Amino acid sequence: MTKIDKRFLSGNEAVAEGVRLCRPQVIAAYPITPQTTLVEKLSEFVADKEFPCEYMLVESEHSAMAATMGASMMGVRTFTATSSQGLLYMCEMLNFVSGSRFPVVMVNANRSTATPWNIFGDHRDAMAMRDSGWIQLYTESGQESMDTVIQAYRIAEDPRILTPVMVNLDGFSLTHTYDLVEVPDQEVVDRFLPAYQTDNKLDLKNPKSQCISIGPDFHTEIRLQQQDAMDMAKKVIADVDAQFGKEFGRSYGGLVQEYRCDDADYVLVVLGSVAGVARTVVDELRKQGEKVGVIRVRSLRPFPNEYFASLKNRFKALGVLDRNLSFGNQGGVYTETKAALFTPGNMIQTLNFIAGLGGRDITKVNIAEMFSKLKAVSEGEAENEMQFIGLRWS
């Protein structure tokens, strides 16, 4: 019988354990709050020779992504991590990596972007990189963060995908929160995640060009290949999560995860760690006779358009809680959800709630207020489509 190894770990430490189990051969590290303790823990693992790895302390986040790309060009498994301004600084290299189809895995500790300067968690950093060609997965707990890193390598390195993956966990509320985490055996991970093999590498016996220039004649076709890989990734993400569940006893719904939605009238779409609070509010409102539920989006890229299109008139009203805002429009998750819902005959009322910016707490009272507004709009009351929740002034 396999021994269960449970440890009291922060989210960053749980991720570091997951990375260690995946045996990357090159790690490029540059510190930035709140991901710093993650790469610090990995440096301890490498120093203690817990797995063979070249640990590179580089001079910037841009350099970190350039280094992981260079290593991936040689056909080895790589890892890096960042947050906030660091992710924005990587922007140029993110496009190089995805366009060249290198399956780099990176963890982003979600954090607000400047200015005003703020080190706490919201989703504006990753949302700004939605069009960079990276798969984006969002986690709810330390356990899921560790498990998703392991899944991310399996997804990214699939020959049908060969697309980098960004695993997002909320700054401080996950990165620095401690919880019991089950760490799997190395042998089980090795069986689930074999050693990386690829033909997309520099090889003296099979010379090829990398990061080539390409003119108008074929540029569109290359982008179509990236889009096809993202479309295929929807199936692969779901399949990998299901296979992970069979092997490890834990799975997370693939692209989306429903909670008490079967008979719900009003549902709230969420991203990241706030899902736990939302489920608690759902349980409390259910006891009061309210038919409410939660939909947690786990994959922002590729976006689960088919899932939302299939909802049709399943609910009376649907709200989206965004911890980001595209100035001049609405929250990023809301605009994509609303677009996916735009199908013939769909009559679901929708509202966009902006909350939790700059790390502000999203309370049970806040979420209960959102459900109240969804009920009101479904009954014909006037509500602004986009609303800031928990403002210090009305």
CB 92 within 8 A of CB 62: yes
pLDDT of residue 307: 98
Residue 282 to residue 353: CA distance in whole angstroms? 17
- Given a cut of 90, whether residue 209 has pLDDT beyond it is no
pLDDT value for 1? 41
| Structure tokens belonging to residue 5 | 């190894």
CA-nearest of 362, 263, 273, 353 to 314 is 263
Give pLDDT tens digits for 297-324: 999 999 999 999 999 999 999 999 999 9
Q: How many whole angstroms separate alpha carbon 39 and alpha carbon 81?
A: 7
Could you give the domains of the chain? 6-248 (3.40.50.970), 256-388 (3.40.50.920)
pLDDT in tens, 80-103: 999 999 999 999 999 999 999 999
pLDDT, tens only, 241-275: 999 999 999 999 999 999 999 999 999 999 999 99
81 bridge partner residues:
107
pTM to 2 decimals? 0.97
